[in-house]
A and B are shown apart, each in its own frame.
Chain A
Amino acid sequence: MVDILKILVFPGFLFLTVFGLAVEYFDRKLHARLQNRIGPPWFQPLADFIKLAAKEDVIPEDANPRMFKMMPVFALTSTVTAFFYIPLWQQGGMFSFTGDLVVVLYLLTIPTLSFFLGGWYSTSLYSKIGAVRSITQLFAYEVPLFISILSPALLADSWSLKEIAIFYTAHPWYWMFNLLGFFVSLVALLGKLEKVPFDIAEAETEIVAGTFTEYSGRLLALFKLGIDIETIVGASLLAAVFLPFGLTLGPALGFMLYIIKVLFIVALLTLARTVLARLRIDQMMELCWRYIAPMAFVQLLASLVLKGVILR
């Protein structure tokens, strides 16, 4: 019973929804202020959600209705599920088992796949191009992301997020060794969330809204909510793996610190999308494989050397 409450209310689905909308507001407001605009009022994301949810769902005639309707739900559920395994303000998430880090990374890939399938099955040309782009993008950022997130785990000698948290609590300053990996995974997270400079899959001026061109109403609202929650889950994962301090402060202080960590990571993402222009897909591939992936490998190598030679 308590578990169900945890899943549905706190820190599960309801909390994620509220926090997701709040973080969307934070992102939009900060983006606007950095651009010298006033920005939206605090309830804007919620108002957008309600408005979209109240609208009619239009499904293209040629589209496969089942796939078309299923994909937003897939995107949403997979991100919410991933959230349960991430340690937030304690050592260990709601559930934990050996290897949950890999499962979280796997679950975080599903939204991208659902963007692809959703776009592909909506049969519009713009959507199809967007879908192909988003899957192409996946190949660019996924490898650096995996490698950079696995290197702190290597240092902690565990694939379990809980044990990683325990290890870094025991060795409070070791997270400093992973800063390069933190940078790499921030770049990869930008790609995963399809934000500027990697919003190639939904480049407005080229392919209208890319994958989401044909989506409207409730389905679009679910997609948007899924992306908001994905932002939180991604930021929480990065916070858990790369900023694993203050996990023994108790619920109140720990919760505050967790929120601050997430907002800090989101602020970094917002800053990136404010000061950069959109790259082309070939430029993104080049950037990710020529610079970001080698950086991730350097981080991995550093972790191996640290673990095998220096910290023995």
Chain B
Amino acid sequence: MHKVMIPIGPQHPALKEPESFLVALKGEKITDFVVRLGYNHRGIEKACEERTYIQDIYLTERICGICSHSHSTAFVQAVEEIAAVQVPKRGLYIRTLVAELERVHSHLLWLGVAGHEIGFDTLLMYSWRDREIVMDLLATITGNRVNYGLNTIGGVRRDISPEQVKEILKGDDKLEERTKYYIDIATKETTVIKRLSGVGVLSREDALKLGAVGPTARASGIDRDTRRDNPYAAYSELDFKVVTDNHNDVYGRTLVRLGELMESYKMIRQILKNLPEGPIAVKVPRKIPVGEAVSLYEAPRGEDIHYVKSNGTEKPERVKVRAPTLANVQCVAKMLEDRQLADLPIVIAAIDPCFSCTDRLVGIKEKGCRKKVLKWEQLREFSIHWYRHHGVDFSKLNSKLETKKW
């Protein structure tokens, strides 16, 4: 076959979110690979500046559907640092507990997606069934399966009861048993190993150069984990090891994630055993003093960075989010060098991408190029003219809408 360009996305069964990958193929071989981000831009950073800190917690929680706790914790930590608030121990422990439960649910979800991408749907069905256990646990602790609404500035909003502790421990044991089974599958099932090992190779040097984070970096032998290197919440008091692997490929990433699951179960047990008594939150004034802070957080997908700058009012001056996918997505092109089309879905999935967290808008001002800033009214005027020019007239509809009192 001659050279063809095939579009993977923005709408494609392999992708769970709209994102465009343009792949040049020669036969089955990938010769060129272009990523185009930007289908999911929601302007959350800007929206944060328009809202109070309390409202922003809920907004940052919605940056990502899967690691929602990660983003809200990272944001809250930054604000707490600016306000110099000491969060009570129990609050920190509960935050850590939910963080680890979230990691468990995210990694189990990833395992299923990875299974689906290599055509192994049975793994998807099994791991997602077991993921329900941790989803139920999260629902009993926080009241929600996702977007927990647990964090607040100065602590957490819900305490956990001794009965819940028992329930979590029970679920934890069950999940550990199931994860051992998945480790067994991943390391013994021939077709799975064939599809995973040697695929999407990212050497240690390349991973460092491209700034990979999280499991993607750790599977390339980079021993780096924010939970240990810059401990936040209760991680400094927990005993865990950072799982790394030297396979450098998708197989290694699978092993790292499964290993991290086992570590998470261990950590959950430690947290519940050492859960300190006392209050879960302290009261923080609505107005945060002038200052700025950077908060690091090890999300399931890698290091998540939030930067918050305050100006002494109840609204932040600037919020900046660097989601882990942004750091990892650069590596995909490297991983796909000289690979086949069949490897593309699993290689993209192996960085556990979350595109909607990643999309940002950057306006580049070139010299000599004048950019106009339109006010809302002008924009509306412009769009009406544009449609009229193209033969669509909404004026009747508009007049109907205007006469209707809202």
Contact = CB atoms under 8 A, between A and B. Distances in A.
Nearest to A136: B28
Interface in A255-308: 274-283
B226 interface: no
A280 B340 contact: yes
A125 B6 contact: yes
A35 B345 contact: no
Interface stretch (A18-26, A162-170, A199-207, A234-242): A199-207
Interface in A179-227: 196-197, 199-200, 203-208
Given A204-B13, A277-B189, A36 B342 contact: no
Contacts of A282: 28, 340
A36 B125 contact: yes
B364 interface: no
Nearest to A124: B6
Contacts of B35: none
Given A129-B6, A206-B345, A279 B194 contact: yes
Interface string B316-348: 000000000000000000000000111111000
Nearest to B339: A280
A184 to B, nearest CB: 18
B120 A205 contact: no
Given A35-B122, A280-B195, A205 B345 contact: yes
B1 interface: yes
A205 B28 CA distance: 15
B115 interface: yes
A132 B342 CA distance: 14
Nearest to A34: B122
A235 B205 CA distance: 52
A190 to B, nearest CB: 12
Given A36-B129, A129-B6, A205-B345, A278 B120 contact: yes
Contact of B28 (A35, A36, A281): A281
B341 A207 contact: yes
Nearest to A278: B119
B41 interface: no
Nearest to A126: B6
Nearest to B125: A35
A133 B13 CA distance: 19
Interface string B107-140: 0000000011111111101100100000000000
B399 interface: no
Given A206-B341, A208-B13, A278 B118 contact: yes
B393 to A, nearest CB: 29
A312 interface: no
A276 B4 contact: no
A66 interface: no
B82 interface: no
Interface in B24-55: 25, 28
Contacts of A199: 119
Interface in A15-41: 34-37
A129 B117 CA distance: 18
A275 to B, nearest CB: 7
A122 B116 CA distance: 27
Interface string A23-65: 0000000000011110000000000000000000000000000
A277 B342 contact: no
B192 interface: yes
Interface of A: 34-37, 125-126, 128-129, 132-133, 196-197, 199-200, 203-208, 274-283
Given A196-B120, A203-B119, 4 more contacts: A204-B14, A205-B14, A277-B120, A281-B28
